[in-house]
Chains A and B, each alone.
Chain A
Amino acid sequence: MAFPTNPIYKLHNSTFDGVTTQTVMKDIGNDLRINIPFDPKNIDYQEYLEWVAEGNTAEPAD
């Protein structure tokens, strides 16, 4: 999966048994990618929300 550099985040949908869960992914360099749950206590998610609050929009899910 290719990641854009701008926006740096990309949404991801995962569907199982009819239930779709959305997460957001980010390439953090060094051949590593993080997949962030939409959990308000998760600091990676908090950083994502700050990025969105700055007026940015993540790339849509495939």
Chain B
Amino acid sequence: MSTLKVDAIRHNSATSDAITTASDGTCTANITNNLSNRNLIINGAMQVAVRGATSTSSGVYTVDRFACNHNGTDEAPTQAHVSVDSGTTPFTLGFKTAFKITNGNQTSGAGTNDFIRIRYPFEAQDISNSGWNYVSASSYITLSFWVKSSVAQSFHVNMRAKDGSDNNYTFETGSLSADTWTKITKTIPGNSNLTFDNNTDEGLYIHFHMFRGTGNTGTVSQNQWVSYDSTLLTTDQTSTWYTTNDATFEITGVQLEVGSVATDFEHRSYGDELRRCERYYQVLAEPKQDSGVSNISTHGGNFYGVIHFHTVMRGSPTLVVSNFTNAFRAYGNQGTNPSTLTLNNGGSHSMVIQGSGNPGTAGWLRCYLGNPSGGAFATVAAQSEL
């Protein structure tokens, strides 16, 4: 038996140690594979898309946790939950889905206030408690993602740390080859000016820019934290992608982790990602005849019921409901189609809904969130996005 006594182990060509040993008998290692609970991003592999496959509306989270915002466009871009082509490198690494933005036809060119971007917001407490010593310049987080564009160009990313003095960090992907998946990795240091409160408010966001007009870009230092200025989110951006009709931008495998090394992507099950996403948006009933409502009672000309959330939500959510005739059906000793289904009150665990109309108190009082009589199935959801 022999003992190898060294302070560190480093590859011949590396510039940093892979393993560093300590005098107390412990070590630290830059291990890049098969690590769990690393990714601070929810749904980074774009598996969950409960709102629908496509949208042209700004601010919609077509893929859960990832919103596409746009402004000033002549034709709105289409955001879509898509499959990654088999045989491509991200596919072979286990990425089967991506978030795709297809540009519209921007006939009037690139306006100063125009933009198309993908947005990912974090709760402040999730950064505050991540283990990142964010006030130290020698403590790091690392952002990595796979990206593909139909237009060869460099794209801009900015991260805003909103608490405290409000700071911004911007960088570029570097020039991407057209129609080629590329993995981008960016290691970001802490800074003594950063603050992340231990609360449920938005503390950090990442914006992946397809284009931002010069009204919000200009001379700003890249690759370092600077004071946030809404007119200087990034340096000026090329408008090539934006002025190319039907240009595409796809992204998947987004990971933000504590440390200076981009580890392999932490693949999680669909159920695991769905549960995490439901803290911000959850469908309360399948789009079919589905009760989903409990503890129903009647009062005056209305009935009331409780909906318990599948996952505790970030805060008191907004109720999202279908706004068409016969979307719902309630039964007591008679059936009634509520003309409205509204929010009475609620918190992060449950909400009380109110339906207009009294189905009577006898019998099994129940409310269908879809209407078996009307043949129309309703959307009922709760959202507590950032």
Chain A residues close to B by CB (< 8 Å):
1, 3, 12, 14-17, 21, 23, 25, 27-37, 39, 41-45
Chain B residues close to A by CB (< 8 Å):
57, 200-201, 299-300, 304, 314-324, 339-340, 342-346, 352, 354, 379, 383-386
Whether A25 contacts B342 by the Cβ 8 Å rule is yes
Considering the complex, give the chain B residue whose CB is closest to the CB of A3. Answer: B323
Give chain B residues whose Cβ lies under 8 Å from the Cβ of A21: 343-345
Whether B343 contacts A16 by the Cβ 8 Å rule is no
Whether B339 contacts A35 by the Cβ 8 Å rule is no
| A42 CA to B299 CA, complexed, in Å | 28
Whether B384 contacts A42 by the Cβ 8 Å rule is yes
Considering the complex, give the chain A residue whose CB is closest to the CB of B319. Answer: A35
Whether B318 contacts A29 by the Cβ 8 Å rule is no
Considering the complex, give the chain A residue whose CB is closest to the CB of B314. Answer: A41
Whether B340 contacts A37 by the Cβ 8 Å rule is no
Whether B354 contacts A14 by the Cβ 8 Å rule is yes
Whether B342 contacts A41 by the Cβ 8 Å rule is no
Give chain B residues whose Cβ lies under 8 Å from the Cβ of A42: 315-318, 384
| A3 CA to B383 CA, complexed, in Å | 21
A-B contact pairs, 7 of them (CB 8 A): A14-B344, A14-B345, A31-B322, A34-B320, A34-B383, A36-B343, A37-B345
| A14 CA to B305 CA, complexed, in Å | 13
Considering the complex, give the chain B residue whose CB is closest to the CB of A39. Answer: B316
| A23 CA to B317 CA, complexed, in Å | 12
Give chain A residues whose Cβ lies under 8 Å from the Cβ of B200: 41
Considering the complex, give the chain B residue whose CB is closest to the CB of A36. Answer: B318
Contacts A15-B300, A33-B321, A41-B314 known; 15 new A-B pairs at CB < 8 A: A1-B340, A3-B323, A14-B344, A16-B344, A16-B354, A21-B344, A21-B345, A30-B57, A31-B379, A33-B323, A34-B318, A34-B319, A35-B321, A36-B318, A39-B316
Known A37-B316, A41-B316, A43-B385; contact A31-B324, beta-carbon cutoff 8 A? yes
Whether A35 contacts B343 by the Cβ 8 Å rule is yes
Give chain B residues whose Cβ lies under 8 Å from the Cβ of A36: 318, 343
Give chain A residues whose Cβ lies under 8 Å from the Cβ of B323: 1, 3, 27, 31-33
Give chain A residues whose Cβ lies under 8 Å from the Cβ of B344: 14, 16, 21
Considering the complex, give the chain B residue whose CB is closest to the CB of A62. Answer: B340
Most buried by B among A14, A23, A35, A39: A35
Give chain A residues whose Cβ lies under 8 Å from the Cβ of B379: 31-32
> Which of B57, B304, B315, B384 touches A16 (beta carbons < 8 Å)?
B304
Complex A-B, nearest 7 residue pairs according to Cβ-Cβ distance, in ascending order: A33-B323, A35-B343, A35-B319, A39-B316, A14-B344, A41-B315, A44-B318
